Amino acid sequence: MTSIPAHRPPAAPAVVLLVEDDEGDELMTREAFEDNKIGNVLHVVRDGLEALDFLYRRGEHQDAPRPDLILLDLNLPKYDGRQVLEQIKTDPELSHIPVVVLTTSAAEEDILRSYKLHANAYVTKPVDLDQFVRAIQQIDDFFITVVKLPRAR
């Protein structure tokens, strides 16, 4: 009979990439991670080009970790979120990473296009801070705690 250790080492924190150009939304996301004691590592990039640089480890992001989850705004400078999503989901090295579109748009065409581009989920950002915090916690709970994802480092 094998004994179960009294203390299991904690799992490595998940790496979450937030692609967000709005500083207020970034701050709310950071607060959601802190308020809910979400122990994951949050990296933030401000536009679509920087997101691709992070994912492909180019320029100042040469040492970037491979994210376990991407929170992606649609309306971004340089490359918009749709272009970033399409690039991620058509690249065999990146396509396994879950992408949650987290945006202010509730437009049916944005929702449909995001799913056609293989977004894993589409969440309209709540305006209320408490609802926003709950949404971030639910995303984290589902994609990091509930479902099993490949961990690529």
- Give me the pLDDT at residue 6, please: 38
- Give me the pLDDT at residue 5, please: 39
In this predicted model, which residue has the larger pLDDT, 126 or 45? 45
Fold of 15-146: Rossmann fold (3.40.50)
Band of residue 37 on the pLDDT scale cut at 50, 70, 90 = low
pLDDT at 83 over 50: yes
Band of residue 16 on the pLDDT scale cut at 50, 70, 90 = very high
What's the average model confidence in pLDDT over 132-138? Answer: 89
Band of residue 9 on the pLDDT scale cut at 50, 70, 90 = very low
Mean pLDDT, the chain, rounded, equals 87
Q: How far apart are CA 46 and CA 19, in angstroms?
A: 6
Band of residue 39 on the pLDDT scale cut at 50, 70, 90 = confident
What is the domain partition of the chain in residue ranges? 15-146
DSSP 59: G
What's the average model confidence in pLDDT over 22-49? Answer: 86
To 5 degrees, how large is the angle CA 58–CA 122–CA 72? 20
CB-CB contact of 128 with 74 (8 Å): no
pLDDT at 14 over 50: yes
Determine whether 106 is exposed, middle or buried from the number of CB atoms within 10 Å of its CB (0-12, 13-18, 19+): exposed
Q: What is the pTM of this model?
A: 0.88
